[in-house]
Amino acid sequence: MDETMRKFKGKTDIDATCHTLRRFYCTNLADAGTELDTLRRMMRHSHIDTTVNHYLKADPRKMKSATTAVDDALDL
| pLDDT tier for residue 45 given thresholds of 50, 70 and 90 | very high
Mean pLDDT value of segment 57-67: 73
How far apart are the C-alpha atoms of 42 and 35, rounded to whole Å?
A: 11
Q: What is the per-residue pLDDT for 44?
A: 95
Q: What is the per-residue pLDDT for 76?
A: 64
Of 61, 1, 49, nearest to 39 by C-alpha is 49
Higher pLDDT, 40 or 19: 40
Q: What is the per-residue pLDDT for 38?
A: 95
- For the stretch 17-27, pLDDT in tens is 888 888 889 98
How far apart are the C-alpha atoms of 43 and 38, rounded to whole Å?
A: 9
